[in-house]
Structure 1
């Protein structure tokens, strides 16, 4: 007797969810690899503690706007279900323009205040300086990251989560390579330590945006959705994207501020404790991947 059987609906959910989980998994693997790389630098406890602040501060800032993918995803899925291919293209165009403009403004602000942001959460001055250097380079990639967010919402909405999986594998493989080069040095480039991890991640993010743009040029998608035929910003669509995304953005930022506050509190106990918290959180996030993947599938189908 079978304990359960897979219906057509179950198979379709898995078809959408599994590539998304695979793509998310590559991000977590890179997080663990980055932690291992930074952990081999001199004064590893200071670098790991600073990296913990840097990573969660980056996620806190980015999560406030990366949820634009949720609004884009929901609207695209609805238009796609209605067989309104041109509408899908208009939503993508608006999302890309909106995300890039927001990304430029936010990046200019947070890059300038990166040292202050790091110093606010760091109990140790040296940790604050290291985290500030990391954030300075990491924040530069925000506009390009938000472009990938828009494309991600589009491909999620039309059920092509494999594109995200391919993107995750490529971008995060490049992330490991660039981080190794910029952290330790190589090919005539002097090692930058923890700051190199921020720069490497930003360069990989730019490559990821280029990958998504290249995929969007494939005739299978370009000719069907006509998003480059009339590349324009539609105010009404932007308002709908923001209306759907804003509650999710606030939820995400409060969760991540909670994590960031916890890491800041552990810094009051000691540098080693703060470094250990970063390592534990990096491993802990892996357990959440299946939930995120099935959430993407449900948003697409509903």
Structure 2
């Protein structure tokens, strides 16, 4: 009995000592401010970003779902082409991170002109790059599909090529939507990008369904309607982003249409690319690994191709909460550094 009481007393003494040690740490005195930062600043930014990223990811997944009634070959074709498209989207998303950081930092310094210039020039450069990229990929589409599809059946390769040739036309629109959304997030506005990307998904479902399966007496376009519907939806979203920036819904980022014709400031461009390019290399390598796996399973049958793409899409959803918290932290850190609050950053 005495031994048990002695052991209990020792445990309590250790617990008390640990508690006192924690209380003496600098962190303990600031714990309340950390909670306030998380719930009042990070969370309100992270939740819309998480939902927005979910909408971006679902664009391709919804196309797979919409063609599922056309057969497993159609699902496999969309899966193969979208595995390649995801690598391109990952590159655009990484450059959008550079835009977000520069815009947030500039607004933290209360330099609206520089923030607008960063957003405007990122949009111009990435749109031009996306146009060139779309032309190159469209021209070499057959070779790309032959590499990506590997030992897949000729029917699946043909469907994948059709989908790829239609969706590459949406690259400029996707670049505008992603870069514009990144600029708005850098200004602290996460709700507008969420609404636009959510609207694009709804439009994708409606337009693609009509184009694939028809309406009233029209028979529809069949499989090609999936790629065309996604492309149309992205262009509508791109127009919405340009319109939001043009009318100055966020006064800090009011960008008139004629300002896109102004000469480029390469100092700002290199600043954006200095952040975006390293991030894009990391992102492309990560998604390239997924594409490599898809290439390995391409010869295992149509069912395996479709299943692998769906599994990767679900796995990507799991990563979104962490990505959203990272994006929210990036915005807050950029603004704090811009205002000179290095310790709080």
Normalising to structure 1: TM-score of the pair? 0.91
- 8 Å CA contact retained: 1:48, 1:278: no
- Most deviating of 97-106 and 266-275: 266-275
Tell me the secondary structure at the aligned position of residue 250 of structure 2.
Answer: helix
- 8 Å CA contact retained: 1:21, 1:290: yes
Greater relative CO, 1 or 2 (CA 8 Å, sep 6+): 1
Shift, 1:220, TM fit: 4.5
Instruction: Give the equivalent residue in structure 1 for 2:36.
Output: 8
Question: 1:269 aligned to 2:290?
Answer: no
The alignment yields a C-alpha RMSD, in angstroms, of 2.0
Shift, 1:146, TM fit: 0.8
Tell me the secondary structure at the aligned position of residue 217 of structure 1.
Answer: helix
| 2-structure distance, mates of 1:189, 1:71 | 45
| 1-structure distance, mates of 2:146, 2:206 | 29
What are structure 2's unaligned runs of at least 5 residues?
1-30, 334-345
Instruction: Give the equivalent residue in structure 2 for 1:103.
Output: 130
Question: 1:71 aligned to 2:84?
Answer: no
Instruction: Give the equivalent residue in structure 2 for 1:180.
Output: 209
| Counterparts of residues 187-206 of structure 1 (less than 5 Å) | 190-206=219-235
- 8 Å CA contact retained: 2:245, 2:254: no
User: Residues 243-274 of structure 1, C-alpha deviation per residue, up to 9 Å, x if partnerless?
Assistant: 21111111111122211121221122222111
Report which of the two structures shows the higher radius of gyration computed on alpha carbons: 2
Shift, 1:27, TM fit: 3.4
Shift, 1:210, TM fit: 0.9
Given candidates 317, 329, 332, the residue that maps to 1:286 is 317
Closer, same or farther: CA 88–103 of 1 in aligned 2, 3 Å: same
| 1-structure distance, mates of 2:303, 2:259 | 55
Closer, same or farther: CA 155–270 of 1 in aligned 2, 3 Å: same
Question: 1:240 aligned to 2:271?
Answer: yes
User: Residues 23-80 of structure 1, C-alpha deviation per residue, up to 9 Å, x if partnerless?
Assistant: 2223344444332221111xx2211211111111111133234422011111001001
Closer, same or farther: CA 97–27 of 1 in aligned 2, 3 Å: closer
Tell me the secondary structure at the aligned position of residue 186 of structure 1.
Answer: coil
- 8 Å CA contact retained: 1:77, 1:157: yes
